[in-house]
Structure 1
Amino acid sequence: MKNRFTTGIALPCLLAGGLIPALSLTAVTSAAAEPEQLEAIVISAGRTPLEAEKVGRATTVITGASLEKSQVRYVADALRQVPGVAVSRTGSFGGLTQIRLRGSESNHVLVLIDGVEVASSSSGEYDFGGLQVSDIDRIEVLRGPQGALYGSNATSGVIHIVTKGGIRNGQRITARSEVGTDKTVLTDLLVQGGNDRIDGAFSATLRRTDGFNISDYGKEKDGDRNVTLNGKVRADLTETLVLDANLRFVTRKSDTDDQDFAFPDRPTQGQVIDTFSHNKTREVYGGAGLTWSLFEDLFVQRARVEYTDLHRRGFNSNNRNGNDDNRLHLSYQGTLAFQTESFLQAAHSLTGAVEWERETYRNAYPGSPDQGRRQQRDLSGYVGEYRLELLERIFLSGALRYDRNEQFKDTLTYNASAAYLHQETGTRVHASIGTGVTNPTFFEQFGFQPSRFVGNPNLTPEENFGWDIGVEQKLLDGRLTVDVTYFRERLEDEIQTRFLPGFASSPFNLQGTSKRQGVEVSATAQILDGLTARASYTYLDAREPNGQKEVRRPMHSGAAGLQYTFLDGRASAFVDAVYNGQQMDSEWVNATPRSRVKLDDYLLVNLGADYKLNDNFTLYGRVENAFDQTYEEVYGYNTQGATAFVGIKGTF
């Protein structure tokens, strides 16, 4: 029997105890430099990479090394450690997993893998359920509206995942084998190499599990099978011309259970019940670009093409469903960098960019001829960004974007940020302001089942305005770093779903303003040699125009952890804790008068260790949800209890 205990005071108690200036998942926040290794560059902070201390926007960087130390296997679980992030998973690994930033909807977060947008064009959001970490070099999280830099869907932030690349003048092979609870098997391989002009990397990951029953009814287990292949190459064609390319392929089969919407109502109406349902998904992401540097890198041009192809088929107790999504993205940008030393030691960067994108969508199982038609829409964007550095301590940036939409009104978005660095006291002040727009999705426009979900062609885009300001402070000779950030966002024309007669539903624009505000706190500490600690906490107040709390957004959330390295670096151990406060969710039970239900708070604790057997092999193990906590992230869906895993990793 699973253990349920009161967690409402767990995180404050941990913080008070001082353990938790800590996330064992070593993330570099906008506020915090890594005590052991400074991650100086943030790739996604602007149209061109920028040093972390110069970034005015709220950012977090999770390194591949920290993912390895904490033995995290899914990106969604790594993101639980990041301030401002809320994760909702429908039951088992591989189930639909949504990420929200600062109280946003999941389709308000732009997700990139190696620069390629990976969200489904039909739903507008990316399903994190199958995204594993085995080949990931870093994860960057950029919080706040970033529409001016990235266009539609960056309404509340950007998550950029960068996979591991090649090695110049060398080679390395890394392999792993892991087994665990529910007959879980993980095997992955990474090959890296190159010479002085070209490098490349190839990775393959296979993970399968029998899973557990995500329904409260019955005993049928819901498993997941995932194969991920990834390749990257970078070649110096000349001393000034560089080619880069990447290709990613994912195939998944995930078992699931359905909600009981049978007519007439049964005792299980509205609940998740045992069914032999599953989803099959094939994902292909690719990109290629040329970078041409002139005048000793004073003027850098970049042209790039990116393509996304998503193929999904679902089979459940009621019907079949599926969609085919494609996205073609073309871009060109030029960046001019120059200095005016006589004027406040100023350094300037001016970037102009032009983008064109075409999205297509087809319903694989249309309920009517109209829904079977291939839908298409084009968008063009024009971007300008200016960055200014003064006296090596004042860093300013501003961006403006004009988007021409084929189906919606043209939009103008902006973004500005500032950072002030006072090295003498270890203080850094950062602030940003911006806007973002999210266009209605193909699902919302055209629907996907006439009897269940009816499209609304009259929807208007959602528009967000937000700002934040924060202070980072280094203490104890840089061994402790603390950051506190306040944010505030206002969303107009939020799209929600309402029920129609006959059990159907349809999206509509809410009248009024949806308000989100809160505080993000993060801390890192080098307690002793080999002992590091981290903590994060988020207070969030996210409400609809009528004052109701937004669903699946906890008011209080946080994470903490310790990482200890010993035996001259041959062994390490970690403990992680994730706290998720009470939150509201939607309920579909006709027998009750309510439409919402409160989900209890929960505390998840993971712990593990590794030992380096020799120069090539490392043995490791971990326990997840060590206290066997019972909890729900989405109403009606069971979650995983205590699990254990053991594995061996070889590097050659």
Structure 2
Amino acid sequence: MTHTRLLLLTTALLAPLSAARAQEVTVLPPIIVSGGLTPAPADAYGRAHTVLSREEIEARGVTTLQDALRGVPGVAVSSSGPSSTQIRIRGAEANHTLILVDGVEVSGGSPADYFLSGLSVQNIERVEVLRGPQSVFYGSSASAGVVNIITDKGAEGLHYGGSAEVGNGHSASAHVSQRSVQGGLSLNLSQLDDHGFDYSGDGGEKDGLRRNTIGLAGDWKATDTLTFGSTLRWTKEEYEYDSFGPSTGEADLIVDDKTPEGETREFQGALFGELSTLGGRLTHRLDYQRSVFKLDTFESDLTRAESDTLKYRLSYGLDGLPVDQARHLLNVLVEHEDDDSNVATDYERERESVALEYRASLDNGLDLQAGVRRDDNKVFDDFTGWTLGLSWRIPGQPVRLHASAGRAQVDPSYAELFGSASAIGNPDLIPEQNRSYDLGAEFTFLNGRALVDVTYFHEQLTNEITNLYILVAPETYRAFAFNADGESPREGIEVTGKLQATDALDLSFGYTYLDAQGPDGRIEVRRPKHELQLSSTLFFLQDRASATATVRHVAGNYDDQFYGAYERAELPNYTTLDLAAGYDLTKEVRLTGRVTNLFDESYSDVWGYATRGRQAYVGVQARW
């Protein structure tokens, strides 16, 4: 189905909204939208997770997903420039985390890692970060976790607004929505023109980035039991970058100050219909999703990857209650997915999957989530994955214990199988598999003003795909991917804390300890051993103004030296301080300002690549 057809169908489905009558909208308790085959209650969810609200993100002053995720427990963010940023959850590789926008994957179906670049968090409701295997619900590429950006669909009535910011370039966004009890329609626009900085760090020209995004979403309640909806999203990005030069044997010459350019184009679209029967006890949902990702760079030919997914989900309240109230719930998913890439024009992957999920809310505060999935793969061996989550709110105590375990799989990427400008293909690769468990405790005290969550996790990766660098021409190396023998253990501790110290002062912190090793016993690259983030927000002038300070410390980060013998070495530890502030000029208009890397710390996440120095920004936000 083409993009045009999706747009026409969306318009047809949502046209009756013009006649919708405004009625009261019910406020639901907190849920984890991405928590399973259907949304899960946050206070009963057994799997480790973090939810970043729009208010938290705005208080920190961040505008991109990569910056919002820095400091989230269990998440490592490494960047060789804004146009090339990866995330790794619990020490896994970057392509083991699935990135979604409103539940639709952004990578075009290819299980290669998605470079976050300028992915905006403007016009969002929240970001959900799920840690641990999620493949039962989301398939391949979700073996370490899921990051789902949930965009702002608007509240009841007509709402609109926007933002603008200047400082080493500019960014802008706009939002308009109309919603009633019968449905709603929202339009989100965002633009980023980042003048960037010199990735090579030798004082050369700036490497900038320009990104434009259009998002359209809507839903329409055709009858009391039948709802239709759609989400559509288009993105175009242009950027400059610096890349590795010939292997000279000198560390300070490995990244050339070049002027190559790249361009990406993305499309994600989804259509759904949901039918409620038996008084809400039995629901049916049919989804069609399409994702297309195109990449064109100065150094390589155009790459196009795309995927099409058709899903049918049945939900049944086993205890006779409606699905959204059931204490015993059964979800069934039947899914067909196919993806392809022009990297291998005669090669196409297909997968038929069936998944079952059972949830129980038992007496004495005990909640259970269990799931199993069977993948019938056209190319690789068939696979059975599973997941289990437990949550126990101890009666009479301000303590909630939680635990989860699971098994998941990740298919090799097209580049690993068939090669690219920098890699030699290996069609004999097999999928990687991950086994995981975690144990945690959440403590609430000071009459609910403070919360601390401590989680221990252990993951074991087998068939890890790793690279061997081969000299293919004088001073030219290319990566050759292969499945390493043995197991790659990863374990650590994640700590989250929040404290409302006074009516005017909020404090929060996140800490991760990680020990990630390859099958050869070496420390895995770009996965810091220690990462700590402390944040404080002060409200003043009768809550019309606020100021936030965020300190981030990273230690024990290793990377390969891409020159000479390609040795693995530890990068210097670093600490950064960011400041953000805002003042309400009126109830609808807010003046903002921020300074990143206040002390102009010089550091690196990736060997040979510089990072951005101190930058200052000023902006304005408006909502009606």
Name the TM-score, length of structure 2 as normaliser.
0.92
Deviation at 1:530, TM superposition (A): 2.4
* Counterpart contact for 1:271–1:589, Cα < 8 Å: yes
Does residue 1:48 correspond to 2:33, yes or no? no
Over residues 492-546 of structure 1, what are the superposed CA-to-partner deviations in whole Å (9 max), with x where a residue is unaligned?
A: 0000111234233310000000000011111111100021111111110000111
Q: Note the alpha carbon deviations across 1:250-277, whole angstroms, 9 max, x for none.
A: 1001110121127xx4857861111111
Residue number in structure 2 paired with 1:443: 415
Q: Structure 1 residue 320: deviation in Å?
A: 2.9
**What's the counterpart of residue 161 of structure 2?**
174
| Partner-residue secondary structure (3-state), 2:242 | strand
1:38 deviation in Å? 11
* Rounded Cα–Cα distance in structure 1 between residues aligned with 2:539 and 2:283: 42
1:433-467 C-alpha deviation (Å, 9 max, x unpaired): 10010011111111124xx4211111111000000
Offset from partner CA, 1:364-416 (integer Å, 9 cap, x none): xxxxxxx6x35311111100011111115110121010001111000001111
How far off is 1:614 after superposition? 1.4
Q: CA deviation at 1:650?
A: 2.0
Aligned residues of 1:218 and 1:273 also touching (Cα < 8 A): no
Contact 1:123 1:443 in 2 (8 A): no
Please tell me whether the aligned partners of residues 73 and 133 of structure 1 are also in contact (alpha carbons under 8 angstroms): yes
Amino acid at match of 2:387: N
SS in structure 2 of the partner of residue 443 of structure 1: helix
Please list the CA deviations of residues 582-604 of structure 1 after superposition, one character each: whole Å capped at 9, or x if unmatched. Answer: 211011212xx452122111112
SS class of match (1:444)? helix
CA distance in 2, matches of 1:172, 1:511: 56
Report what 1:193 is aligned to.
Answer: 178
CA positional deviation for 1:616? 2.7
CA distance in 1, matches of 2:300, 2:388: 46
Q: Which residue of 2 aligns with 1:213?
A: 198
Question: Residue 362 of structure 1: which of 325, 339, 342 is its match?
Answer: 342
Distance 1:70 1:630 in 2: 21
Determine if the alignment matches structure 1 residue 272 to structure 2 residue 247. Answer: no
The answer to whether residue 89 in structure 2 is matched with residue 101 in structure 1 is yes
Contact 1:302 1:332 in 2 (8 A): yes
CA distance in 2, matches of 1:396, 1:187: 43
User: CA separation in 1, counterparts of 2:571 and 2:252?
Assistant: 19
- Partner AA of 1:295 in structure 2: L
Which residue number corresponds to residue 308 of structure 1?
291
1:13 alignment counterpart: none
More deviation, 539-548/567-576 = 567-576
The answer to whether the aligner puts 1:382 opposite 2:354 as a matched pair is yes
Give the secondary-structure state (helix, strand or coil) at the position aligned to 2:420: strand
* Aligned 8 A contact 2:216 2:233 in 1: yes
Following superposition, the deviation at residue 340 of structure 1 comes to: 7.7
Q: How far 1:68 moved relative to its partner?
A: 1.8
1:568-579 aligned within 5 A: 568-579=542-553
Deviates further, 189-198 or 472-481: 189-198
**Conserved in 2, the CA contact under 8 Å of 1:269 and 1:589?**
no
- Whether the 8 Å CA contact 1:166–1:233 is kept in 2: the answer is no
> 1:89 maps to which residue?
79
Report if the CA contact (8 A) 2:176-2:187 is conserved. Answer: yes
Give how far 1:558 is off.
Answer: 1.5
Deviation (angstroms), 1:324:
0.5
* 1:564 and 2:551 matched: no
Structure-2 residue corresponding to 1:630: 602
1:620-646 residue CA offsets vs partner (Å, 9 max, x unmatched)? 111111111110011111111111000
Residue 414 (structure 1) aligned with residue 386 (structure 2): yes
The Cα of 1:216 is off from its aligned counterpart by: 2.8
- Cα distance change of structure 1 residues 268 and 348 upon mapping to structure 2, 3 Å threshold: closer
CA distance in 2, matches of 1:594, 1:208: 35
Post-superposition CA distance 1:200-234 (Å, at most 9, x none)? 11111111122211113352111111111111101
Residue in structure 1 matched with residue 125 of structure 2 by the alignment: 137
SS in 1 for 2:586: coil
The match for 2:137 among 143, 149, 152 is 149
Counterpart of 1:547 (choices 503, 521, 528) is 521
Whole-angstrom distance in 1 between the partners of 2:609 and 2:28: 40
Q: Report how far residue 423 of structure 1 moved.
A: 4.5
> How far is the alpha carbon of 1:580 from its aligned partner?
1.3
Equivalent-residue separation in structure 1 for 2:142 and 2:183 (angstroms): 33
**Aligned in 2, Cα 1:648/1:505: closer, same or farther, shift over 3 Å?**
closer
Question: Conserved in 2, the CA contact under 8 Å of 1:260 and 1:269?
Answer: no
In structure 2, the residue matched to 1:616 is 588
Asked if 2 retains the 8 angstrom alpha-carbon contact of 1:270 and 1:587, the reply is no
CA 1:269–1:578: 2 relative to 1, 3 Å: closer
Q: Which amino acid aligns with 1:352?
A: V
Structure 2: distance between partners of 1:233 and 1:422: 40
Give 3-state SS (helix, strand or coil) of 1:272's partner.
Answer: coil
Query: TM-score, normalising length from structure 1?
Result: 0.88
Give 1:61's aligned residue: 51
Percent of aligned positions that are identical? 34
- CA distance in 1 between partners of 2:29 and 2:172 (Å): 29
Instruction: Return the alpha-carbon distance in structure 2 between the equivalents of residues 239 and 386 of structure 1.
Output: 26
Which amino acid in 2 is paired with 1:553? R
- What is the match of residue 531 of structure 1? 505
- Check conservation: 1:122, 1:323, Cα contact below 8 A: no
Q: Provide the C-alpha distance between the structure 1 equivalents of 2:144 and 2:111, rounded to a whole number of angstroms.
A: 17
Distance 1:320 1:611, change over 3 A: same
Residue type at the aligned position of 1:104: A
Name which of 150, 156, 163 aligns with 2:151: 163
How do residues 268-347 of structure 1 correspond to structure 2 at under 5 angstroms? 271-315=254-298, 319-339=299-319, 347=327
> Which range moved further: 143-152 or 325-334?
143-152
Q: Deviations over 1:566-615 (max 9, x none)?
A: 2222111111112211211011212xx45212211111211121111112
Matches within 5 A, 1:596-615: 596-615=568-587
Moved more, 477-486 or 208-217: 208-217
Q: Which moved more, 1:614-623 or 1:48-57?
A: 614-623
For 1:374 and 1:229, the matched residues in 2 are separated by: 33
State the 1:166 CA deviation. 3.2
Equivalent position of 1:477 in the other structure? 447
- Tell me the distance in 1 between the aligned counterparts of 2:179 and 2:448: 37
Unpaired runs of 5+ in structure 1?
Answer: 1-36, 364-370
Q: Do 1:121 and 1:441's aligned partners in 2 also have CA atoms closer than 8 Å? A: no
2:585 and 2:136 mapped to 1: Cα distance?
Answer: 50
Could you list the per-position Cα deviations for residues 98-132 of structure 1 after superposition, in whole angstroms to 9, with x for gaps in the alignment?
Answer: 01000000110111111101124445222211211
How far off is 1:194 after superposition?
A: 2.8
1:67 counterpart SS class: helix
Q: Partners of 1:468 and 1:275 in 2: how far apart? A: 45
Tell me how many residue pairs correspond in the alignment: 591
Which amino acid is the alignment partner of residue 247 of structure 1?
Answer: L
- Please tell me whether the aligned partners of residues 203 and 231 of structure 1 are also in contact (alpha carbons under 8 angstroms): yes
In structure 2, relative to structure 1, the CA distance for the partners of 1:310 and 1:332 (3 Å cut) is: same
Q: Distance between the aligned counterparts of 1:218 and 1:575, measured in 2?
A: 29
Code of the aligned partner of 1:482: V
Secondary structure of 1:47's counterpart equals coil
Distance 1:266 1:524 in 2: 48
- For structure 1, which segment, 207-216 or 468-477, has the greater mean C-alpha deviation from structure 2 after superposition? 207-216
- Two-structure CA RMSD over aligned residues (Å): 1.9
Residue 17 of structure 2 corresponds to none
- SS of the residue corresponding to residue 66 of structure 1 reads helix
Matched to 1:421, the amino acid is R
Asked if structure 1 preserves the Cα contact closer than 8 Å seen for 2:111 and 2:410, the reply is no
